[in-house]
Amino acid sequence: MSTRSARSWWQRAAVEILSDRLALACLSLFAVFFIAALGVWAGLWGQEWGATSATIRAPVSARHWFGTNAIGQDIFARCLFSARTAFEVGLLVALLATALGALLGALGGYYSNRWPDRVAMWVMGVIDAIPFYLLVAAVAYAMRGSPFAMHIAMVACFWTTTGRLIRAEVIKLKRLSFIEAAQVIGVSEPAIIFRHILPNTVHLLLVQATISFVAAVKAEVVLSFLGLGVKDGVSWGVMIAESAHDNLAGHFNNFVAASVSLFLLVMALNLLADVIQDVLDPRRGLRL
């Protein structure tokens, strides 16, 4: 694939995504959350998420946009800070899990049915055989409550899907003539794998990264509820967990704010993953 046609393929994909109204709406929604997270990082807003006050379980007002919780903390500030937590967890896990899956999947696919591949396949089978929450719990237990136990366990769990997918794709790709040509003219094996094969799986990696991001954000919520999640700071999972008492008192602001934020971000990314998959599918590109 020459650089020029590659660029036009990406351009075409971008135009197609931007002309799809649903995709555009999802992208905008994602951008809103991302800006909210960046603002927290930059210290622009969401900093007073931990400050308590005397106004307990206040309703929605101009001062407290989403009201306050049981100990008088501003729910809107906590929601904003949680967006930062979600992006931290999601981006970290998605990047590492996708990179690991791409690397081991590509190696396994290129050397398929030789011993490195067999070992990789066995490891994937073993990891997939351990129920996710049990593995996270075991990792957290072994790491004695380290704040990164959750991230490590998620990466360890999530790379296998990407790994299998890339492995299957690489097995298909390595039989194509441009790879055979590269082998014949003596291009080194690492160069073939990383410069000629892996770039042709980018569309899969992009979709997988999006799906891993979603999985990580959703898993964080359940893990925080189980007490295995975010240790310092606040997250939508922590907010939902602490909302249990508010709910009993008939004060649903905490619960609604956190779960609606979570739902919007996850939904936008789920829909976006579908669109990316459709637009970037090279088989479909040929027909254009």
Partner 1 sequence: MRGAIDNFLSVALLILGVTLIGFLLIVYFGPDKTHELAGKNPTAAEIAEIRHQLGYDRPLPLRYARYLKELATLDFGFSDATGERVTSILKRTVPVSAALLLPGFVIGQLLALALAGVAAFNQGRILDRLIMALSVVGMSISFLVVMIAFQIAFASSYGLNWFPARGWDASTALSYLRHVAVPTLAIVFVGTGYSTRFYRSVFVEELGRDYVRTARSFGFSRPRIFVLGVLRNSLLPIMTRILYSIPMLLIGGSLVVEGYFGIPGVGKVTFDAITSGDQPVMKAVIGLTSVVLGTVMLVADRLYGFVDPRIK
Return residues touching partner 1 (CB under 8 A): 122-123, 125-127, 129-134, 137-144, 218, 221-222, 225-228, 237, 240, 243-244, 247-248, 250, 252, 255, 259, 262-263, 266-267, 270-271, 274
Interatomic CA distance for residues 37 and 202, integer angstroms: 26
Least CB distance to partner 1 at residue 12 (A): 23
Nearer to partner 1, 192 or 264 (CB): 264
B/e letters for 21-40, b = 16+ CB within 10 Å, e = fewer, are eebeebbebbeebeebbebb
Kindly state the smallest distance separating residue 248's Cβ from partner 1, in Å. 8
Name the minimum Å distance from CB 186 to partner 1. 37
Provide, rounded to whole angstroms, the least separation between the CB of residue 261 and partner 1. 11
How many Cα atoms within 13 Å fall on the side-chain side of residue 221? Answer: 19
Please list, in sequence order, all residues whose beta carbon lies within 8 angstroms of the beta carbon of residue 99, skipping any fewer than 6 positions away: none
CB of 282 to partner 1, least distance (A): 19
Q: Which is nearer to partner 1, 8 or 270 (CB)?
A: 270
Give the Cα separation of 221 and 225 in Å (integer).
6
Residue closer to partner 1 by CB (options 125, 282) is 125
On the 0-12 / 13-18 / 19+ scale of CB atoms within 10 A, 211 is buried
* Min separation Cβ 133 and partner 1, Å: 5
Length of the chain: 288
Q: What is the Cα–Cα distance from 83 to 61, expressed in whole angstroms? A: 21
Axis-axis angle for helices 253-280, 202-226 (nearest 10): 160
CB of 226 to partner 1, least distance (A): 6
Give burial (CB, 10 Å; 0-12/13-18/19+) of 226: middle
**In terms of CB distance, is 206 or 264 closer to partner 1?**
264
Nearer to partner 1, 143 or 192 (CB): 143
* Closest to partner 1 by CB, 25 or 134: 134
Q: Please write down the HEC assignment for all residues of 21-50.
A: HHHHHHHHHHHHHHHHHHHHHHCCCCHHHH
Q: Which two tokens stand for residue 54?
A: 């005397």
Choice between 87 and 174, CB closer to partner 1: 87
